[in-house]
Homo-oligomer: A and B are copies of this chain.
């Protein structure tokens, strides 16, 4: 069985898990360019809405606001850092999960470097995007343009559903973490400053923007987390010539394998990584099983798949926010070794 070999490979990787990554004496990065752009989106015109009064500067005069007119909607913000001498064949695109922004990949909530810097130092050009409706991608008026209301995730829901611990309390000293959890619980409130509202009716616009991003900067390697798991899997189906690998960090969804031509993906290796404590929740085993069903269909169609349950290779305590956990470099190192094994470095 193929999976057994891979487990052996990753046991080997885990043995080196505390090895220091050597970047040379001068650990500065030589950067060719830092920049950003928008993909996707279109113009939309609002008409017939009533005007209203507003004060724009505190103590200033009342001004009439006419909300009617034209706007851009559905666009997605992308920021890139390009190295002078990339060692990877293709750029890495980092796609964050629900209710968050590209900040997910930057400096971690505890102040230590995140995966953006890890993959830059490992020699990849890195593209970090904010999903449609989030962060610098902006958002649009509802219900006139977006067809639902925004959802604001509470601290309690985040603490629990991101598998940091079983019990949340507004008093940090009363919060209960999972034993040995690697999310820096003392930085949880800092982490929650990066949470943004989400809508449930913008999936199509988000997929279109991601697909445009792949067309614009591909061939590329896509690294997805949680909600963007389904977007990344579909992006590969939509552009099998442009997607060179997909790394899925705890994807919360996947396309319906019965409806897709998965043979299109036979040259696109997929790496799945799951953290700890999945079975302690009512919802996570369902997400996991749904994605595993897609994985099985990938394997049946000859797609190279690597599936890692971190606890099974001896790495225990990872939350849903693996890229912010204390061992985030260790997880990134597993991904890096896998990319090397897939011949994706120069």
Contact = CB atoms under 8 A, between A and B. Distances in A.
B200 A34 contact: no
A228 to B, nearest CB: 13
Given A130-B136, A138-B193, 10 more contacts: A28-B84, A31-B31, A34-B34, A45-B170, A69-B156, A77-B103, A138-B197, A139-B197, A140-B152, A141-B197
Contacts of A293: none
Given A130-B136, A141-B152, A152-B67, A34 B189 contact: no
Nearest to A59: B256
A198 to B, nearest CB: 9
15 contacts: A28-B31, A29-B30, A35-B106, A38-B194, A55-B200, A58-B203, A67-B152, A68-B154, A71-B154, A71-B192, A72-B195, A77-B103, A135-B136, A136-B194, A138-B197
Interface of A: 26, 28-38, 41, 43, 45, 54-58, 65-72, 75, 77, 79, 81, 84, 101-103, 106-107, 111, 113, 116-117, 120, 130, 135-136, 138-141, 148-152, 154-157, 170, 189-190, 192-197, 200, 203, 253
A205 to B, nearest CB: 12
Copies of this protein, total: 2
Nearest to A194: B38
A66 B151 CA distance: 10
Nearest to A82: B28
A103 B150 CA distance: 23
Given A84-B28, A103-B36, A41 B151 contact: no
Contact of A155 (B69, B150, B151, B170): B69
A144 B72 CA distance: 27
Given A37-B107, A103-B136, A152 B71 contact: yes
A42 to B, nearest CB: 9
A136 B342 CA distance: 34
A190 B58 contact: no
Nearest to A84: B28
A190 B38 contact: yes
Contacts of A26: 84
Contact of A135 (B32, B69, B135, B148): B135
Contacts of A41: 193
A193 B29 contact: no
Nearest to A79: B106
A324 B34 CA distance: 16
Given A54-B200, A69-B156, A136-B102, A170 B30 contact: no
Contacts of A117: 33-35
Nearest to A113: B35
Contacts of A149: 54
Give the one of A55, A71, A136, A197 with max B CB within 10 A.
A136
A-B pairs with the 4 shortest C-beta distances?
A69-B154, A35-B107, A28-B84, A38-B193
Contacts of A200: 54-58
Contact of A57 (B138, B196, B253): B253
